[in-house]
């Protein structure tokens, strides 16, 4: 099969188009013919080399995949060739206490398609049956591929961890990112007031079109000061963090007394400074998040089918342009997702 893979960790030029054997599904697995794969910042981290991640090279990146059933393992009888499917990116053992309690993202063997296991920058992938999702209604391959990882992560952050409530104010940092654009929509779905930050007026207008109530250009203004002005000096009930070092101190200042900060990443650096005085004097709760429960994606897809949540795709590029796709993501040029189309 045709694939774009890495044979070592490094910069953009380690992404190579090569031919690899088509995987063979195990009895409980499904072979999927891939039509589209959306990028996530995770792809960049894996490409560059995540600490403690021992890859078997050549390695294929890509977590968000849409496609159709090619073949199934011998123990599977509820799927057939040609069925359109979306893949759930989370992988877990399926038999530990956390998995059986529905907290599969707590599983000690948890990983994500495209990290330890080969991902979607290829024509085919073999995945466990439990990772097959129903395909969203009347949606293109590229739009569908933009759903799983960011929707599930943002949902878990806001709904399950921060437990957002109607009438609360949610500050979404970097609303032009793939996950930020979804966070705006989820917060509005739950009746919250949304303050969105972005680096350009164009991105802010797009965030507004998704439902953002207040807009802050963080290149021109201090977003923590502006957030406090908007909230009559109180601060946001919830701060949706995924930027890290560059924003962390101001995120704490932008949070109201008794408020919550929920974070899933550190794209600008992990060694952020925390003023602990602000945390305990103002009784701020800091919540860490890694993906979400696989089962929640069924609920999320119901909202997608009702058109209450929608994927946001900025650019679609062919598989052979994977280097360019990574370059765009690294430069933060896009609003929403970048998707690779695979034929």
Q: Yes or no: say if 51 and 152 are a contact pair by the CB < 8 Å rule.
A: no
Query: What does the pLDDT read at residue 224?
Result: 97
Q: Compute the C-alpha angle 99/100/101, nearest 5°.
A: 90
DSSP state of 324: H
Q: How far is CA 65 from CA 85, 131, 176, in A?
A: 9, 11, 21
Which residues fall within 8 angstroms of residue 185, CB to CB, at 6 or more apart? Answer: 210, 211, 309, 310
Below-70 pLDDT ranges, the chain:
none
Query: What domains lie within the chain, and their CATH numbers?
Result: 2-147+311-341 (3.90.180.10), 151-288 (3.40.50.720)
Q: Tens of pLDDT along 197-206?
A: 999 999 999 9
Angle between helices 41-48 and 322-331 (to 10 degrees): 110
Query: What does the pLDDT read at residue 97?
Result: 97
Query: What does the pLDDT read at residue 235?
Result: 98
Q: How many Å apart are CA 33 and CA 31, to the nearest integer?
A: 7
Average pLDDT of every residue of the chain: 97
Burial 274-284 (b: 16+ CB within 10 A, else e): eeeeeeeeeeb
Q: Tens of pLDDT along 219-277?
A: 999 999 999 999 999 999 999 999 999 999 999 999 999 999 999 989 899 999 999 99
**What would the two tokens of residue 68 be?**
């159709």
Q: How many Å apart are CA 163 and CA 84, to the nearest integer?
A: 33
Three-class SS of residue 173?
coil
């Amino acid at each position: 099969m045709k694939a774009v893979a890495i044979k070592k960790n490094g910069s953009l030029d380690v992404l190579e188009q090569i031919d690899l054997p088509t995987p063979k599904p195990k009895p409980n697995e499904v072979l999927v013919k891939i039509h589209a794969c959306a990028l996530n910042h995770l792809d960049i981290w894996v490409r560059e080399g995540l600490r403690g991640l021992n890859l078997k090279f050549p390695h294929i990146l890509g977590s968000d995949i849409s496609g159709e059933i090619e073949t199934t393992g011998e123990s599977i009888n509820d799927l057939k060739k040609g069925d359109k499917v979306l893949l759930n990116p989370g992988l877990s053992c399926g038999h530990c206490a956390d998995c059986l309690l529905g907290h599969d993202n707590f599983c000690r063997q948890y990983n994500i398609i495209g990290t330890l296991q080969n991902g979607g920058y290829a024509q085919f992938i073999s995945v466990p049956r439990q990772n097959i999702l129903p395909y969203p209604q009347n949606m293109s391959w590229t739009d569908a591929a933009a759903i799983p990882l960011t929707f599930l992560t943002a949902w878990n952050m806001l709904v399950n961890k921060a437990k957002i409530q109607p009438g609360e104010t949610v500050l979404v940092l970097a609303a032009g990112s793939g996950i930020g654009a979804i966070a705006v929509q989820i917060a509005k779905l739950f009746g919250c007031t949304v303050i969105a930050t972005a680096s350009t007026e164009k991105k802010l207008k797009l965030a507004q079109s998704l439902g953002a109530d207040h807009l802050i250009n963080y290149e021109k203004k201090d977003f923590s000061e502006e957030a406090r002005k908007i909230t009559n000096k109180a601060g946001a009930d919830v701060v949706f963090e995924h930027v890290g070092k560059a924003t962390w101190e101001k995120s704490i200042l932008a949070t109201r007394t008794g408020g919550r900060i929920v974070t899933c990443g550190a794209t600008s650096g992990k060694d952020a400074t925390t003023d602990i005085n602000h945390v305990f004097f103002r009784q701020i709760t800091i919540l860490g998040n890694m993906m979400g429960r696989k089962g929640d994606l069924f609920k999320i897809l119901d909202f997608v089918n009702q058109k209450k949540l929608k994927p946001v795709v900025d650019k679609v590029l062919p598989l052979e342009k994977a280097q360019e796709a990574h370059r765009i993501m690294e430069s933060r040029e896009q609003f929403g997702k970048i998707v690779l189309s695979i034929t």
